[in-house]
Structure 1
Amino acid sequence: MLLTLLASLALHDPKIVAPGEGEPVAVPFHPVFQLIGKGETESNATFYEFRVPPKTAGAPPHTHTKEDEFFYVLSGGVSLMNGDEITVAGPGTLAALTRGHLHAFWNAGDEEVVMLMATVGGEFEEFFDAVAMRLREEKPASPEAAGALVGQIAASKGITIDMSKVPAEARQLYGME
């Protein structure tokens, strides 16, 4: 009986994800690979590898109400916006961009940025799934239409996107000039 009780407490098996073994996430932003899903741990954490090509927009200014985001820069230099502050973060930088605070990221540099991104709480994993599915189904005719669709899905998941907060230095990367 004790053995059965102990087995029931181990709800999740350990997992090791080797380089290149992440599951591709079908989103239009930049290459994203899910390393572990929230249903695979008791903490409901999700881990992703983000690869942001040079001179590319990342997540536009947005605020989460349901989850915290953590970024750890592995290579390259990424511009991180936290409220009104912008920091160019290099390898070894950890950014805790917690719920309720406006944040964004982009790659204004000449080399690819690779980051480990984690979310804890909320529905972020479902947000990525919903974006991929709706973009495949609706096939928006323009980047603006795709952006509007992403904004609508984000709002349904407790994420508010505010394109009016894109800093001047990043506007061109987001197609705003």
Structure 2
Amino acid sequence: MSGTTPAPHLTIVRPGEGADGDLGSIGVAFKLWGRDTGGSVSIVEHPFPVGALVPPHLHTREDEYSIVTEGEIGFRSGERETVLGAGGYITKPRGEMHTMWNAGPTPARMIEVISPAGFENFFREIADLLADGPPAPEDVAALGAAYGLEFGHPDWLPDVIARYHLTPPPGG
């Protein structure tokens, strides 16, 4: 039929599909890239081994929305802290220092929705950097800066590490 609008692009990612990577303390499974969503969102999954802690950081360009799908994951954003089990949701707004950790005795997993898209490329680049061995801290800092990511060492971090028996981040 003439004058009809073509159907929008359809992306299908079946269970277990999508590239994987190692981010150091946690993993990443790429599900939807910005190119799949017109740049509006990207979606990754993060497996958290027991004792895993994501180094505290803040985003200057995007917001994150997390859904716990397995185990228990702790979240600290600013002065707020919670532990969520499978089926729990949380928002992590840009501009606020936050961290996440495996808060339980078994591996955990969460889905991360990133808006707007683009930060999934940081995950790809850091996984590639780590594949060549432990990166220099200045290389990680430079890559983070390129994506508007700032790392921090908040006063509350040692307490979280002690309470949950976590592996401290490099340099922490």
Band the TM-score falls in, shorter-chain normalisation:
0.7 to 0.9
Q: In structure 1, the residue corresponding to 2:141 is in which secondary structure?
A: helix
The 8 Å contact of residues 42 and 117 in structure 2, kept in 1 or not, is answered as no
TM-fit CA distance, 1:108:
3.3
Number of the residue aligned with 1:17:
13
- Taking structure 2 as the reference length, the TM-score comes to 0.83
For residues 75-100 of structure 1, what are the alpha-carbon distances to aligned partners after superposition, in whole Å with 9 as ceiling and x for unaligned?
11111001122111111111110111
Query: Within 1, Cα distance between the matches of 2:136 and 2:101?
Result: 18
For residues 41-77 of structure 1, what are the alpha-carbon distances to aligned partners after superposition, in whole Å with 9 as ceiling and x for unaligned?
13531111111011111x2211111011111011111
Query: Within 1, Cα distance between the matches of 2:124 and 2:100?
Result: 21
TM-fit CA distance, 1:126:
2.0
Structure 2 vs 1, CA of residues 70 and 86 (structure 1 numbering), >3 Å: closer, same or farther? same
Structure 2 vs 1, CA of residues 86 and 162 (structure 1 numbering), >3 Å: closer, same or farther? same
Q: In structure 2, the residue corresponding to 1:60 is in which secondary structure?
A: coil
TM-fit CA distance, 1:132:
2.7
For residues 2-55 of structure 1, what are the alpha-carbon distances to aligned partners after superposition, in whole Å with 9 as ceiling and x for unaligned?
13xx12x73xx2223222112213432322101111110135311111110111
The 8 Å contact of residues 68 and 121 in structure 1, kept in 2 or not, is answered as yes
Q: Which piece of structure 1 moves more, 80-89 or 26-35?
A: 26-35
Are residue 173 (structure 1) and residue 167 (structure 2) matched? yes
- Taking structure 1 as the reference length, the TM-score comes to 0.81
Structure 2 vs 1, CA of residues 134 and 23 (structure 1 numbering), >3 Å: closer, same or farther? closer
Query: Within 2, Cα distance between the matches of 1:148 and 1:170?
Result: 24
Number of the residue aligned with 2:65:
70
Query: Within 2, Cα distance between the matches of 1:38 and 1:47?
Result: 9
The 8 Å contact of residues 42 and 118 in structure 2, kept in 1 or not, is answered as no
Number of the residue aligned with 2:140:
150
Query: Within 1, Cα distance between the matches of 2:20 and 2:30?
Result: 6
Aligned residues: 166
Query: Within 1, Cα distance between the matches of 2:78 and 2:158?
Result: 11
Query: Within 2, Cα distance between the matches of 1:101 and 1:95?
Result: 14
The 8 Å contact of residues 62 and 116 in structure 2, kept in 1 or not, is answered as yes
2:89 corresponds to which of 76, 94, 97: 94
Structure 2 vs 1, CA of residues 120 and 131 (structure 1 numbering), >3 Å: closer, same or farther? same
| Counterpart amino acid of residue 60 in structure 2 | T
